[in-house]
Amino acid sequence: MRKLPPIMVACLALAAAAACGSDSGSGTGSEPAAQGSASAAGGAKPLEGEKIEVAAKWTGDEQTNFEKVLKAFEEKTGAKVTYASTGEDTGAYLGPRIQGGNPPDVAILPQPGLVQQYADENALKPLSAEVQAQIDQNYTPYWKELGSAKGQVYGVLVKAAHKSLVWYRQSAFDDAGVQPAATWDDLIKSAQTLSDSGVAPFALCGASGWTLTDLFENVYLSTAGPENYDKLAKHEIPWTDDSVKTALEKMAQIFGKKELMLGGSSGALQTDFPTCVTQVYGQKKAAMVIEADFVAASVGQSGAKVGEEAQIMPFPKAGDTAPVVLGGDVAVAMKESKGAQALLEYLASKEGGEVWAKQPGYLSPNRNVSPDNYPDDLTKQLAQTIISAGESVRYDISDLAPSAFGGTDGKGEWKQLQDFLRNPSDVKGAQEKLEADAAKAFK
């Protein structure tokens, strides 16, 4: 196995979370017993007969892996859990169900912005004392805050994502004689070399608009710096700002050259996630895919091995800042039931996190989940790097924004960046459309 680059700057959310620190003793002592757990005395399963519906965006390998966690919960408690996939647009799926008075018991939200929205709509149930005890035991205040709204704790961060990664196919790099890039300029040069060698440098997942927001956020954080990043995230500066122009112009260095993208812009816009991963590792048609640690869940299905043929590099610096952009999924209760609270308590527990950690493509924000549970050395190294990633660590802008702007298929940031991929020469037009959509959403 190749020695990993000191990538784990990577220390991502996990790192950032640990760096936030916590109150004394929160990582010590005995863990509170999970609600609904089997009785030590009689082995009873107190949730026998309880039915719980949980909805999340995951499909394919990610769904399969999460269902293994649900299976472990069922075996422990006697509850029966059914899973419903919301698809990419979680808000579009949940909205009608909430309005119809039939929400799922538990929903897993891909954007903290949705926690705020649903709390404002009184669509969420506050977490029980038992769930909050698990959060205080296993999480830092940073994560707890992301699941809170209006002074109440509503959500458990159950899955972390480190979005400042570029995955590459080792054999493609070897054949072209290129090395992992430290800077954006190096990345563009390597991409051209790969193209000249006969392989498409990038498989872009343009049909999944959120992948384009991830790309923008990394470039923007690096070029504009953390202070401007925070301002843009809150819409305190407009999307017509020169800092946004700079980032879009960097992205256009890829978008504007068809030979750098598998199938050109048209092919990229017809490729969703995780098909782009298959194009790199299964079909071997491209050399790189720009996405988070959860790419690992799809790598294995393509016959590649993480840490060998499937390698990662930190997102190259496009400016003065080495970007570390974080994401995460927040589990919330939408019905008042002991089953919903019991499942949330399990997902917040060390036990639940360790069941999940054994599956590929997962990183736990739970600081008490042992790295020994992760299935490969690369993921272990990501998880073990519990050190500060520095003050430049930032949460995903689109996930913090109102869903209408940052998390809706065919609208807002997703749509405008897809349109920019179609026509990367119109930087000013893209900025104006982004600003118009942001202005509406942030009213």
Q: What is the pLDDT of residues 196-210, one digit of tens each?
A: 999 999 999 999 999
- pTM recorded for the entire structure: 0.75
Domains and CATH numbers, the chain: 6-162+326-384 (3.40.190.10), 165-322+410-441 (3.40.190.10)
Close Cβ partners of 428 (under 8 Å, ≥ 6 residues apart): 245
CA distances from residue 7 to 66, 107, 158, 383 in whole angstroms, order as listed: 27, 33, 24, 12
User: How do beta strands 286-290 and 200-202 pair?
Assistant: parallel
Residue 218's pLDDT band (cuts 50, 70, 90):
very high
- Taking the C-alpha atoms of residue 159 and residue 59, their distance in angstroms, rounded to an integer, is 15
pLDDT digit string, tens, across residues 157-201: 999 888 999 999 999 999 999 999 999 999 999 999 999 999 999
Check residue 146 and give its pLDDT: 84
Check residue 143 and give its pLDDT: 81
Q: Is the pLDDT of residue 409 over 70?
A: yes
Check residue 43 and give its pLDDT: 66
Strand partners, 407: none
Strand partners, 261: 202
pLDDT digit string, tens, across residues 43-87: 678 899 999 999 999 998 899 999 999 999 999 999 999 999 998
* Mean pLDDT computed over every residue of the chain: 88
Q: What is the mean pLDDT of residues 86-106?
A: 94
Q: What is the mean pLDDT of residues 133-139?
A: 95
Q: What is the mean pLDDT of residues 98-107?
A: 97
Can you list the positions of beta strands (E) in 1-59? 51-56
Q: Is the pLDDT of residue 323 over 70?
A: yes
Instruction: Report CA 394 to chain centroid distance, whole Å.
Output: 13
Q: Is the pLDDT of residue 41 over 70?
A: no
pLDDT digit string, tens, across residues 343-383: 999 999 999 999 999 998 888 888 899 889 999 887 887 76
Q: Is the pLDDT of residue 259 over 50?
A: yes
Check residue 384 and give its pLDDT: 61
Collapsed DSSP state (helix, strand, coil) of residue 141: helix
CA distances from residue 391 to 81, 225, 395 in whole angstroms, order as listed: 40, 11, 12
Check residue 392 and give its pLDDT: 67
- Taking the C-alpha atoms of residue 317 and residue 216, their distance in angstroms, rounded to an integer, is 13
